Amino acid sequence: MGIPKHSSNQLRIEMKSQSCVVTQERRCANYKPNIWSYDFIQSLTSDFEGATYIERAKKLKDEFVIILNRVPVLFKPLMVETIVKLGLSNVLHKEINDILHTIVSNLHNDDVGFKEDLLSAALCFRLLRQHGYNASQDFIGEMGLDDLKDRPGSTIDLRGVLELYEASHLATNNEETMLKAKAYSYKYLMDHYFDMDANLAKQVAYASEFPSHRKVLWFNVRQQISTYKLEDDKNQILLDLAKLNFNIVQAMHLNDLKEMSQWWKKLGLIENVGFARDRLMESFLWTVGVAYEPQHALLRKCLTKVVMFVLVLDDMYDIYGSLDELECFTRTMERWDYQEIDQLPECMKICFKALVTTTNEIVDDIEKENGWNNILPFLKIAWVDFCEGMLQEARWYKKRYTPTLQDYLSSAWITSSGPLLSVIAFLCTAHGKSEELKNKWEDSHDLIYHTSIIIRLLNDQGTSAAELERGDAHSSIMCYMAEASVTEDIARKHMKAKITSAWSKINMELLTASKEQQKFVECVINMARVCHFIYQSGDGFSVQDGATKNKVKRLFFEPLEL
**What is the per-residue pLDDT across 174-202, written as a single tens digit (0 to 9) for each?**
888 899 899 989 999 998 899 898 889 99
Per-residue 3-state assignment (H helix, E strand, C coil) for 420-470: HHHHHHHHHHCCCCHHHHHHHHHHCHHHHHHHHHHHHHHHHHHHHHHHHHH
Length of the chain counted residue by residue: 562
pLDDT digits (tens, 9 = 90+) for 337-379: 888 888 899 999 999 999 999 999 999 999 999 989 889 999 9
Residue (of 447, 89, 66, 1) closest to 295 by Cα position: 89
pLDDT at 541: 64
Phi, psi of 47 (to 5 degrees): -90, 0
Quick one: fold of 9-25+242-557?
Farnesyl Diphosphate Synthase (1.10.600)
Q: Show me where the domains of the chain are located.
A: 9-25+242-557, 65-234
* Amino acid letter, 501: S
pLDDT confidence tier of residue 6, bands split at 50, 70 and 90: very low
d(CA 527, CA 422): 9
Q: Per-residue pLDDT for 120 more than 90?
A: no
pLDDT at 24: 57
Q: Helix, strand or coil for residue 135?
A: coil
Residue (of 196, 227, 424) closest to 310 by Cα position: 424
Quick one: fold of 65-234?
Glycosyltransferase (1.50.10)
Number of helices and strands in the chain (H, E): 25, 2
CA-based radius of gyration for the chain: 25
Q: What is the mean pLDDT of residues 531-538?
A: 81
CA distances from 399 to 4, 326, 355, 407, 507 (A): 20, 14, 28, 16, 39
**Is the pTM higher than 0.75?**
yes
Mean pLDDT, the chain, integer: 88
Do residues 441 and 452 touch, judged by C-beta distance below 8 A? no
Residue 22 bridge partners (DSSP)? 15
Residue (of 282, 257, 309) closest to 544 by Cα position: 282
Asked if 9-25+242-557 and 65-234 have one fold, the answer is no
Q: Helix, strand or coil for residue 58?
A: helix
Continuous segment of H or E residues that includes residue 57: helix 51-68
pLDDT digits (tens, 9 = 90+) for 195-235: 898 889 999 999 998 899 999 999 999 999 999 999 889 99
